[in-house]
Amino acid sequence: MDSRAQLSHVSWTHTLGILRGAAEGNDAKYNHTLGGYDRHVRPLVDAGLVAWLADGEEPENDSFVRTTEAGQAFYEEYLTGLPAHTVCRSNAWVDIPEIDRATTALAAEYEQRVQGGDV
- Per residue in 41-80, pLDDT (tens digit) is 999 999 999 999 887 776 666 688 999 999 999 999 999 9
- Region of 115 on the Ramachandran plot (φ > 0 left; ψ -120 to 50 alpha; else beta): alpha
Residue 90, pLDDT above cutoff 80:
yes
In sequence order, what are the beta bridge partners of 66? 51
* Alpha carbons 102 and 111: distance in angstroms, whole number: 14
**Interval 8-40: pLDDT, tens:** 678 888 899 999 999 998 898 888 766 788 888
pTM comes to 0.84
